[in-house]
Amino acid sequence: MSRMTRWHLAIGFLTAVIAFAFTAWAQTPPKSKESTPVKSQKPPTEELKKKLSAEQFHVTQECGTEPPFKNAYWNNHDDGIYVDVVSGEPLFSSKDKFDSGTGWPSFTKPIEANIAEKKDVTFGMTRIEVRSKTGDSHLGHLFDDGPSDKGGLRYCINSASLRFVPAARLEAEGYGKFVSLFPLAKQEGVANVAAGEETVYLAGGCFWGMEDLIRKIPGVTATEAGYTGGWLKNPKYDDTHDSKSGHAESVKVVYDPKKLKFEDLLEKWFFKMHDPTTLNRQGNDVGTQYRSAIFFTNPAQKTAAEAVKARVDKAGSWNKPVVTEIVAATEWYPAEDYHQDYLQKHPNGYTCHFMRP
Q: Share the mean pLDDT of the chain.
A: 86
Q: Is the pLDDT confidence value at 21 over 60?
A: no
β strands within 273-328, DSSP E? 281-282, 285-286, 292-296, 325-328
Q: Which 3 state secondary structure label does DSSP give 180?
A: helix
Does residue 206 contact residue 234 with C-beta atoms inside 8 Å?
no
Chain centre distance of CA 260: 24
* pTM value surpassing 0.75: no
Q: Is the pLDDT confidence value at 29 over 90?
A: no
Query: Which pLDDT band, with edges at 50, 70 and 90, does 191 fall under?
Result: very low
Catalytic residue among 83, 156, 168, 293: 156
Span 330-342, pLDDT tens digits: 888 888 888 888 8
Catalytic residue among 115, 167, 206, 305: 206
352 part of the active site: no
156 part of the active site: yes
Chain centre distance of CA 155: 23
Does residue 142 contact residue 130 with C-beta atoms inside 8 Å?
yes
In angstroms, the first-to-last Cα distance of the chain is 86
CA distance 181 to 96: 11
* Domain(s) of CATH 2.170.150.20: residues in the chain: 45-167
Span 292-319, pLDDT tens digits: 999 999 999 999 999 999 999 999 888 8
Helices (H), 161-293: 190-195, 207-214, 262-264, 271-273
* Range 189-345 classified under CATH 3.30.1060.10: yes
Give the CATH superfamily of 45-167.
Peptide methionine sulfoxide reductase. (2.170.150.20)
Span 103-125, pLDDT tens digits: 999 999 999 999 999 999 998 99
* Domain(s) of CATH 3.30.1060.10: residues in the chain: 189-345
Span 227-276, pLDDT tens digits: 999 988 888 888 887 767 889 999 999 999 999 999 999 999 999 999 99
